[in-house]
Amino acid sequence: MTDSQSTSPSLENLLHETRAFPPSPEFAAQANAQASMYDEAATDRVEFWARQARELVTWKTPFTQTLDWSEAPVAKWFADGTLNAAYNAVDRHVEAGLGDRVAIHFEGEPGDTRTVTYADLQREVSRAANALAALGVTAGDRVVIYLPMLVESVVAMLACARLGAAHSVVFGGFSADALRSRISDAGAKLVITADGGYRRGAPSALKPAVDEAIAPKDGEPATTVEHVVVVRRTEQDVAWTEGRDVWWHDAVEAADTFHEPAWVDAEHPLFILYTSGTTGKPKGILHTTGGYLTQTAFTHKNVFDLKAESDVYWCTADIGWVTGHSYIVYGPLLNGATQVIYEGTPDTPHRGRWWEIVQKYGVSIFYTAPTAIRACMKWGEEIPAEFDLSSLRVLGSVGEPINPEAWMWYRRVIGSDRTPIVDTWWQTETGAIMISPLPGVTAAKPGSAQVPLPGIAATVVDDEARPVPDGGGGYLVLAEPWPSMLRGIWGDLQRFKDTYWSRFPGIYFAGDGAKKDDDGDIWLLGRVDDVMNVSGHRLSTTEIESALVSNELVAEAAVVGAADEVSGQAVVAFVILRGEHADQASTDEGSARIEKTLRDHVAKEIGPIAKPKRILVVAELPKTRSGKIMRRLLRDVAENREVGDATTLADSSVMNLIQTGLAKPTEDEN
């Protein structure tokens, strides 16, 4: 596939001969996770989780009830216990005498650094909680966080949790319009943002998007936001609304360093995180406190084999995604880990930046996405070879299926052919890792997430909800409730039931296709719905189609995710122009202009991450007799494959028309 891959001549043989990589005896001997955990959980799944909740979480009031499934599909875990998430992530470590332990090594993209101990974090979070309280935030409120990767981002989330206010982090790559719809849906009282952040060597702006998002627009009133708190990061000039806008440093520095955490019920909302679904409207996934903390702490400790006193952990995700919530903020901090947080991109100022950071901090556990690994493969293995990566001892992968070639490269080049790799399957909705090998226990298979974790009932079923035999394929489902499961879609119980619990009544439908191999190991095969996975990010085809048709040029649009060597899938859009604009696409220059306009339009409506890689102007779209767009055929076209069975098309000549009218691919500017 690429130069760097072909330098591994034995790959085919290796895959064929070895098939699985058993843990080394040394690793197995000292591993946190033991094979006996599977038996313990199988004996009494609910009691297994109760034990984890008692061991890994500190409760203000201990719980006496474990699981209440009487109002299924809304679960209650540990319902009569009370606790505070920020206390668990920070204060209890300081109280245990670990105040001097480094919590965060921050590395800014320009090279500035900051070291934050647990004692520092306790002071900062307490002050920020006092500052937010002074601005009117109380338990039960929602606070939107729209920030780059900074120490303040972690502090802001924990300050909300300390007050019992739910945070809703919106990824900084989303546009003002996308931010507005999330702020409105959540009914947020306050937004925390920054003047901007550093990305690819230059400051980018964030505050203008917030100003636009919360102002009145097209007859819609201003949002419910009363204050905007602004972190200063880049020294850019920002527009200022007196009385509404507050500098983070002014508010936080003036605040008291003591704050009594709000002790909340286990089922108190911790956060809402918006994710794309099959319709145009993002879903506000709701997570609560006790169960979420239990499972994020358990998985972080056992899947990554964290030894808090000696490991340096680094997860390259952004806090705008669930991976950042569970495996930068809550899981690692609950376990008292020392971690790296890096602000920027892997190729700034050079393509070895990540490996330089691993060397500099002695990172021992590293968690990233297959798309990043494939990009590094493309850049060439001589780049990581320039750095000392010998500190690494566990590697993780998340967000999309990892192809065996990328898995092997990751292990050989980054892991010096010795580190275990954990391929972790989970979702925004599951809150924490659900399927993964356990290092020290599982013989790892390149490309497979393999086994449900102890206490997790993941399986593969057919159309009739019957478990498939080994060797069979079907849909991935979760047959029993788990502690960190979503408790609903914010404000829309019916949609929650329809989306996840109606396909197979009583069991959770994940939306992923999967197969079981002859050993019973699970292989994920990608989404079976209209959700795309681009660079490990979830995007909805319908949402991008809605964005396209909201442009005056477009009459109709169909979007598909086409296979892409680096990003897994790429967004490809087919559009029919409105009659009066149709002739604009008749010249190369005209179609290039249209493509640019529409790509910019999608960036404005949703964000740069959703920009189609290619936009093809067509005269018609393939539809069934009932008017449904046949995306499968469009995917064939986008992937340059022979078009499959088109017999159910209302007009089968449409496909010829589309193929002959194919435009050349546009440059990827994303």
As a whole number of angstroms, the distance between CA 465 and CA 554 comes to 41
Q: Which two tokens stand for residue 613?
A: 């890689």
Per-residue contact flags (x/-) with ligand PRX for residues 475 to 504, judged by CB under 6 A: ------------------------------
Q: State the Cα–Cα distance between residues 539 and 178, nearest whole angstrom.
A: 13
Among 88, 275, 359, 450, binds ligand PRX (CB under 6 A): 275
Chosen residue from 511, 568, 612, 622 binding ligand PRX by CB under 6 A = 511
User: Among 64-72, 426-434, 634-642, 648-656, which window interacts with ligand PRX (CB under 6 A)?
Assistant: 426-434
CA 629 – CA 607 distance, rounded (Å): 25
Segment interacting with ligand PRX, rule: CB under 6 A, options 196-204, 425-433, 583-591, 654-662: 425-433
- Minimum CB distance to ligand PRX smaller for 160 or for 522: 522
Residues 626-655 that bind ligand PRX (CB under 6 A): none
Q: Which of 82, 368, 424, 499 binds ligand PRX (CB under 6 A)?
A: 424
Cα-Cα-Cα-Cα dihedral sign, residues 310, 89, 157, 273: positive
- Structure-block tokens of residue 295: 């499972």
CA–CA distance from 390 to each of 305, 359, 384, 590 (Å)? 17, 8, 11, 53
The CA distance from 481 to 484, in Å, is 9
For position 84 contacting ligand PRX by CB under 6 A, the verdict is: no
Please report how close the Cβ of residue 566 comes to ligand PRX at its closest, in angstroms. Answer: 16
Closer to ligand PRX at the Cβ: 510 or 643?
A: 510
Query: What is the per-residue DSSP string for 11-67?
Result: HHHHHHHH--BPPPHHHHHH-S--THHHHHHHH-HHHHHHHHHHHHS--SB--S--E
Q: How far is it, in rounded angstroms, from Cα 435 to Cα 452?
A: 4
Least distance (Å) between residue 171 CB and ligand PRX: 10
**Contact with ligand PRX (CB under 6 A): which of 109, 423, 521, 636?**
423
Q: Residue 29 and residue 553: Cα distance in Å, rounded?
A: 64
- Radius of gyration for the alpha carbons in the chain, expressed in angstroms and rounded: 25
Stretch that binds ligand PRX, among 145-153, 420-428, 580-588, 647-655 (CB under 6 A): 420-428
Instruction: Give me the least distance between CB of 542 and ligand PRX, in Å please.
Output: 16
Name the one range near ligand PRX by CB under 6 A: 403-411, 422-430, 496-504, 572-580.
Answer: 422-430
Query: Closest CB to ligand PRX among 168 and 428?
Result: 428
Phi-psi region of 448 (alpha: psi -120 to 50; beta: other; left: phi over 0): beta
* CA nearest to 322, candidates 434, 419, 206, 200: 434
Q: How far is the CB of 413 from ligand PRX (least distance, A)?
A: 20
Can you say how many angstroms the Cα of residue 531 is from the centroid of all Cα atoms in its chain?
Answer: 14
Which parts of 217-328 are beta strand (E)? 227-231, 245-247, 264-265, 269-275, 283-288, 312-315
Q: Which one, 236 or 403, has the nearer CB to ligand PRX? A: 403
What minimum distance in Å lies between the beta carbon of 402 and ligand PRX?
7
Number of residues that bind ligand PRX (CB under 6 A): 21
Residue with Cβ nearer ligand PRX (336 or 536): 536
Residue 33 or residue 435: which is nearer to ligand PRX going by CB?
Answer: 435
* List 338, 371, 427, 484, residue binding ligand PRX (CB under 6 A): 427
Q: What's the min distance (Å) between Cβ of 220 and ligand PRX?
A: 28
Q: Which is nearer to ligand PRX, 207 or 611 (CB)?
A: 611
In the complex, minimum distance from the CB of residue 200 to ligand PRX, in angstroms, rounded to a whole number = 23
Pick between residue 141 and residue 512 the one whose CB is nearest to ligand PRX: 512
Q: What is the spatial distance between Cα 317 and Cα 184, in angstroms, rounded to a whole number?
A: 26
Considering only 75, 128, 398, 451, the residue that binds ligand PRX (CB under 6 A) is 398
Q: Say which residue the tokens 């974790």 belong to.
A: 453
d(CA 571, CA 607): 13
Shortest spacing between CB 423 and ligand PRX, in angstroms: 5
Q: How far is the CB of 331 from ligand PRX (least distance, A)?
A: 12
Q: Residue 285 is encoded by which pair of tokens?
A: 């996934």
Length of the chain in residues, anyone? 670
What are the b/e assignments for 34-50, b being 16+ CB within 10 Å?
eeebbeebeeebbebbb
Cβ of residue 400: shortest distance to ligand PRX, in angstroms?
5
Write down the least CB distance from residue 153 to ligand PRX, Å: 18
CA–CA separation, 431 and 328 (whole Å): 13
Using CB under 6 A as the binding rule, whether residue 81 contacts ligand PRX is answered as no
Range 237-275 burial, b when 16+ CB lie within 10 A, else e: ebeeeeeebbebeebbeebeeebebbebbbbbbbbbbbb
- CB-CB contact of 542 with 280 (8 Å): yes
Shortest distance (Å) from residue 627 CB to ligand PRX: 28
Residue 400 in the binding site for ligand PRX (CB under 6 A): yes
> Shortest gap between Cβ of 430 and ligand PRX (angstroms)?
8
The correct pick among 181, 371, 428, 459 for binding ligand PRX (CB under 6 A) is: 428
> Are 359 and 366 spatial neighbours (Cβ–Cβ below 8 Å)?
no
Q: Return the structure tokens found at 336.
A: 């008292």
Two tokens at 339? 């971690």
Q: 666 is written with which tokens? A: 């546009």
In the complex with ligand PRX, the residue whose CB is nearer, 402 or 575, is: 402
Of positions 401, 481, 561, 568, contacts ligand PRX by CB under 6 A: 401
Amino acid at residue number 614? R
Residues 520-549 that bind ligand PRX (CB under 6 A): 524, 527, 533, 538
The answer to whether residue 282 forms part of the interface with ligand PRX (CB under 6 A) is no
Of 161, 228, 322, 365, which one interacts with ligand PRX (CB under 6 A)? Answer: 322
- Which of 410-417's residues contact partners 24+ apart within 8 Å by CB, and which partners? 410/373, 411/21, 411/446, 412/8, 413/4, 413/381, 413/384, 413/385, 414/355, 414/366, 414/373, 414/376, 414/384, 414/389, 415/389, 416/389, 416/390, 416/392
Site string for ligand PRX, 443-462 (x = CB under 6 A): ------x-------------
Q: CB under 6 A: which stretch of 172-180, 424-432, 540-548, 634-642 binds ligand PRX?
A: 424-432
Can you tell me which of 153, 234, 323, 499 binds ligand PRX, judged by CB under 6 A?
Answer: 323
N-term to C-term CA, the chain: 22
Least distance between ligand PRX and beta carbon 341 (Å): 18
Which residue among 91, 185, 311, 512 contacts ligand PRX (CB under 6 A)?
A: 512
Nearer to ligand PRX, 338 or 567 (CB): 567
Binding-site ranges for ligand PRX (CB under 6 A)? 275, 322-323, 398-401, 423-428, 449, 510-512, 524, 527, 533, 538
